[in-house]
Amino acid sequence: MTAKRRIAIVTGGRPDYGLFLPLLRLLAADEDVALQLVVTGMHLIAEQGETWRHIERDGFAIAAKVDMGIAGDTAADIARAIGAGTTGMAQTFERLRPDMVVLLGDRFETLAAAVAAMLARLPVAHIHGGESTEGLIDEPIRHSITKMAHLHFTSTEPYRRRVIQLGETPERVFSVGAIGLDNFRNMSLLDRAALEQALSLRLGSPTFLVTYHPVTLEDVSSAAPAEALLQALDNFADTRIVVTLPNTDTDSAALRARLAAYAENSGGRVTAFAVLGSLRYLSLMSQCDVVIGNSSSGLIEAPSVPVPSVDIGDRQRGRISPPSVIHADTDTDSIVDAINTALEPSFRAGLNGMKNPYGDGATAPRIAAILKSTALDDALIKKRFFDLPAGCFA
């Protein structure tokens, strides 16, 4: 009997877990795979909803929990958490002995897992490499993980070329699409009535879905651009607004508190959620009139609805931007103008038939097939730097 391939997937919070879901379900059901789900980071934090409990309710067995000791949101706090996470991941991989480790994205929790796996000579598969977010510390983290990884699954062909530009062998870099789009195909999204019941609120006409995260490479606090956003939202007094609170990042605590206070003092017009989960979030995206903020979901998932999205500031600058995205500066007037554009019936009508450049919603099967078929030998582990042809530098 052939031994099962032990595939460890590391999830650090609700955002990457939601994206991982289609792949997790495929691998968990595969008789040739022993799925090892490693949970860390935000999943274990009470203020973030202890979402490891959601994972178990979804029916997945957790192979290990790695507490990173996230004690605050300063740069030093995050650096210490990376150190603790690297130690915890090293001990976990030593115990689980996976055949390969699958990572997604660009967060500091993922960096800790990548370092531990690389030092253990474990093959690393990385999802969503090659992208650019010029306003975030995630940018160098993402490219660092690329250099520690052995298999690469990019969301678009331009990002595949960028990973190759970083010196990765073309035969190991696959353009497969954005894995989060699979959820639109695999999930039965809630209709309006069921969504209102699940959220315990009535949606309005219009309804805004707002997600705003810290911009971690700015010299100033995220409070200033957040105030501009809130002042812009005040211009739409008859609007139902649902806010999803930010992840654990540098400078996130004050922003979370401000957004929560704005909701609490809104007289019921604004509701803030620490955790929505993939089903409620995507269902809300499909029912709302505008997605607003600086989350990647406004550029990657929202175009599949399609719903207009207002992207604020530099956090997502550098990503491929579909026609449904309206970019706004961080001042109130610019945000108000962008929201008004998104609400114009002619703008939304122009999105009919739009193709999402991030894929077709069939990414997880492509990734699973490659994870299962790739030979786990020294040729995979001992990477060679791929040099671009000399003409590329002319």
Low-confidence ranges of the chain (pLDDT < 70): 1, 135-136, 216-223, 250-251, 393-394
154/135 Cα distance (integer angstroms): 20
Per-residue confidence (pLDDT) for residue 250, from 0 to 100: 67
pLDDT at 216: 55
How far apart are the C-alpha atoms of 185 and 360, rounded to whole Å?
9
3 state SS of 37:
strand
Pairing of strands 325-328, 240-244: unpaired
Across the chain, what does the average pLDDT equal?
A: 93
The two tokens of residue 279 are 């089903």
The per-residue pLDDT for 136 is 67
pTM summary value: 0.92
State the Cα–Cα distance between residues 75 and 60, nearest whole angstrom. Answer: 33
What domains sit in the chain, N to C, each tagged with a CATH number?
Answer: 5-176+362-393 (3.40.50.2000), 189-349 (3.40.50.2000)
What pLDDT sits at residue 47?
80
- Which pLDDT value is given to residue 318? 85
